[in-house]
Structures are given as C-alpha cells and as structure tokens.
Structure 1
Amino acid sequence: MWAHVLNALLGIWLMASAAILGYSDAKTITDNEHIAGPIIASFAIISWWEATRVVRLYNVPVGLWLLLAPWVLGFDNTTATVNSMLVGALVTGLSFVKGKIKDVYGGGWSAVWKSDTLHAREARKQPRTNLK
C-alpha cells in the first residue's frame, strides 16, 4: 500500500509543482500537469483497497505519458522537463507494486473455466448436514 500512497502524493505534487517550482506561466505545461495529477491521485487512492488493487495499473499509461510529454508538447523549461520525467518514472515504477493480498474476491471471467472455484472450496470446508 505504501507505493499507492506515494503515487497519490506524486499526483498531488504534480498539481502543485508548477507554482512551487516557478513555471506556472507556461500554460501547456501546467495544463498537462493539472490533468495528469488528479488522474494519478485518483487511480492511486482507488487502488488502496484490495478489491480494486488492479486499478493501480491504470497509472502506467499516465506515467509513460509524463515521460513523453516534454518532447510531444515541446516543453521549453528544464525544471518542468525534469519534474515531468521524474514523476513519470516514479509513477510508472510504483504502479507495478502489487501490495499484500489477504483475500480473493470473485475471480472475474476466468472463474467460469476453473474447475476448483472459490465457492466450491468454501463449500467443502462447511460440515454437511443431513436433511430428512
């Protein structure tokens, strides 16, 4: 979970970094960060819960975009370029950290083809009662 908390903080940092680092007059750069930051923070916060942990992977394309954005959008500020690349690399890397898994929820469509599903295992654990 620590990686997801860090990703949420990186998303918040991205939203504030233009004002803090002094390039808030560059509209293209700040617009990019004001769009990517909340997306990163939202996906990271959603992935805090075990049942929605897979949402952490939605940050991978956003992190990769931050790595490419300085060249695609033509950033003319070195500080903004370094910030975007650093945050992008961290977000992408931290998005691959799974975290602890305690329970299994559902199984999705793959459970349809399994012969030993979760509910079948749970049913075998329960004592059988004879109903007469």
Structure 2
Amino acid sequence: MNQWSNAKLCDVANLVLGAILFFSPWIFALAAGTQSQNAMGSGIVIVVLSVAALFAFAVWEEWLNLVVGLWVVVSPWVLGFQATTAMGVHVVIGVLVAVLAAIELWMMNQNPPTQSTA
C-alpha cells in the first residue's frame, strides 16, 4: 500500500510540473514561438499522462512520461533556444519529470504485482 501511495505522489508531482511547464510562457515571460509552443504542448502531454496514471495506472504511462521528460530536457538544443530562461525551465522540469517517472518504474520492478494462478 505504501508503494501505491508513493506512486500516486509521483503522479501528482508530475501533474503539477506539467501544469507549471504549460503556464511557463506566462509565469516566466518566455518569448512567443517555438519555446512557448513546446512548453505548452509538452506540459499538456505530461498533465494528461499524469491524470491517466492517477485514474488507471499502467506501465506504459510511466515510460511515456520518462520519454516526454527526456524530450523536454533536450528540446532547447534540438529546437534552438539555448541560453534563455526557457532553456532553464525546460531542463529543470524535464529532469524532474524524468526522474519521477524513473522512480515509479523502479518501484514497480522492486515489487511487481502478483498474479493469481486460478
């Protein structure tokens, strides 16, 4: 039961991080364009995956959250907005999302769900 609670806390934290990323163009006054579009789009994906994980947990949601978190980390270099406030926001939130998803995946591997043999 404790791991279930920890998994829920990770999902709620990712939900909050996704919302912060979505609103970051307004919170941090990011320039309009690619950096703002990436922040809002990635934020929406993180929020949707987190909500889905809260209501109906599945392993694939955590893997997708890990991938999206890693995308958010590398996107400033791929999309060309290095050395900006947007880069810092993306890297910090992306690392946190990826780490939380990795922690959940690790917790699942420590105590895999038992299957009945009936």
Q: Fold-level match, TM-score > 0.5?
A: yes
Query: How far is the alpha carbon of 1:83 from its aligned partner?
Result: 0.4
**CA separation in 1, counterparts of 2:93 and 2:58?**
21
Deviations 1:88-115 (A, max 9, x none): 00000001233688x75xxxxxxxxxxx
Structure whose residues are more often helix by fraction: 2
Query: Are residue 17 (structure 1) and residue 15 (structure 2) matched?
Result: no
Query: Are residue 52 (structure 1) and residue 47 (structure 2) matched?
Result: no
Could you tell me which amino acid in structure 2 is paired with residue 2 of structure 1?
Answer: L
Query: How far is the alpha carbon of 1:77 from its aligned partner?
Result: 5.2
Point out where structure 2 has 5 or more consecutive residues left out of the alignment. 1-7
The alignment of Structure 1 onto Structure 2 pairs a total of residues equal to: 106
| 2:62 match: secondary structure | helix
Query: How far is the alpha carbon of 1:119 from its aligned partner?
Result: 4.5
Q: Quote the residue 1:65 is aligned against.
A: 71
2:15 to 5, 8, 11: 8
Q: What is the alpha-carbon root mean square deviation over aligned residues?
A: 2.3
Distance 1:76 1:68, change over 3 A: closer
Q: Quote the residue 1:42 is aligned against.
A: 48
**CA separation in 2, counterparts of 1:77 and 1:87?**
16
Q: Quote the residue 1:128 is aligned against.
A: none
Q: Quote the residue 2:98 is aligned against.
A: 92
Could you tell me which amino acid in structure 1 is paired with residue 13 of structure 2?
Answer: L
Q: Quote the residue 1:112 is aligned against.
A: none
Q: Quote the residue 1:127 is aligned against.
A: none
Which runs of structure 1 show a deviation greater than 3 angstroms over 4 or more consecutive aligned residues? none
After TM superposition, the score normalised by the length of structure 2 is: 0.78
Q: Quote the residue 2:81 is aligned against.
A: 75
Using the TM superposition, name which of 75-84 and 36-45 deviates more: 75-84
**CA separation in 2, counterparts of 1:35 and 1:10?**
13
**CA separation in 2, counterparts of 1:28 and 1:18?**
11
Point out where structure 1 has 5 or more consecutive residues left out of the alignment. 105-116, 121-132
Deviations 1:12-54 (A, max 9, x none): 101101111111x3310011111100100111111124x5241
